[in-house]
Amino acid sequence: MDNDTQAIAALVKAVELDATNLSALLELGVSCTNELDQTQALIFMQTWLEAHPVHGATRDPELAPVAPESLQFLQHVTGEFRRAAEQHEDSDVYLALGVLANLREDYSEATQCFKQGLRLTPQSHSLWNKLGATAANGGRSKEAVYAYNQALHLKPTYVRSWANAGIAHANLGDHTNAVSYYLRALFLNPEVDHVWDNLRRTCEMMGRADLLEKIQEKDIEPFRSEFPHAFP
């Protein structure tokens, strides 16, 4: 899903039906991170590790628990995932470590973690997108564009990467390509309000007041003749 709020609601129901649903638990950790709910994200990631048939069995039984509201909880969960990575190579563990590094704003470590995950699962569009987002967070927009395009090569309908690539192009001052990426995202899902907002801001920066009324009406068809590459 590209809407984290809807994704969280669906994933919570999945976990309620099966408390050991590993894919749902990990996705909840990621989605809660996207929604800036760090504590809940950490709880879901720790629960994933505890429920995992391999990593859960190798956790240190003498490790003292840390309360989720504690300032040390992020460090505690990170330490557990680092130990898991030392025991068994797993792209999901590297994904989680990358998310945790982003929470600490350690974009260098996050980049290395996502690259390690991609070494094991190079066809993961999600890892490529996360690598792109990490590059963007670190101010490396050109690297971000490359990673987002890798994600889109693997999953051309991935709205999140189309939107993210648009932001990266806008940050590079490449407004024409930014508009094209936003339009493709909206073609795939016209209900993503923040992409309409980004499209409006970019058109304003381009001095294209003639397009603002169409954006207000949430109509992308007038863009088709001028931005044909945005449409399949």
Query: CATH number for the domain including 74?
Result: 1.25.40.10
Domain for residue 69, yes or no?
A: yes
Residues with Cβ within 8 Å of 7's Cβ and at least 6 positions away in sequence, in order, are: 1, 27, 31
Domain that holds residue 1: 1-122
Token pair recorded at residue 103:
């929470």
Task: Find the radius of gyration of the CA atoms of the chain.
Answer: 19
Domain for residue 167, yes or no?
A: yes
Residues with Cβ within 8 Å of 151's Cβ and at least 6 positions away in sequence, in order, are: 125, 126, 128, 129, 132, 158, 161
Three-state SS for 208?
coil
Q: Are 90 and 30 in the same domain? A: yes
The DSSP call for residue 63 is: P
Dihedral angle sign, alpha carbons of residues 215, 221, 225, 228: positive
Q: Are 91 and 56 in the same domain? A: yes
Q: How confident is the model at residue 231, as a pLDDT? A: 95
Q: How confident is the model at residue 5, as a pLDDT? A: 81
Q: Are 103 and 208 in the same domain? A: no
Contact 112, 127 (CB under 8 A): no
Q: Are 173 and 90 in the same domain? A: no
Q: Are 66 and 180 in the same domain? A: no
pLDDT, one tens digit for every residue, the chain (232 residues) = 467 788 889 999 999 999 989 999 999 999 999 888 999 999 999 999 999 999 998 887 777 789 988 889 999 999 999 999 999 999 999 999 999 999 999 999 999 999 999 999 999 999 999 999 999 999 999 999 999 999 999 999 999 999 999 999 999 999 999 999 999 999 999 999 999 999 999 999 999 999 998 999 999 999 999 999 999 9
Q: How confident is the model at residue 1, as a pLDDT? A: 44
Domain for residue 86, yes or no?
A: yes
Residues with Cβ within 8 Å of 232's Cβ and at least 6 positions away in sequence, in order, are: 184, 187
Domain boundary among 89, 122, 155: 122
d(CA 149, CA 119): 17
Q: Are 11 and 98 in the same domain? A: yes
To the nearest 10 degrees (0 to 180), the angle between helices 159-171 and 141-154 is: 160
Three-state SS for 5?
helix
Tell me which amino acid residue 218 is: K
Q: How confident is the model at residue 2, as a pLDDT? A: 61
pTM of the predicted protein model: 0.92
Number of domains in the chain: 2
Q: Are 188 and 111 in the same domain? A: no
Q: Are 174 and 214 in the same domain? A: yes
d(CA 160, CA 164): 6
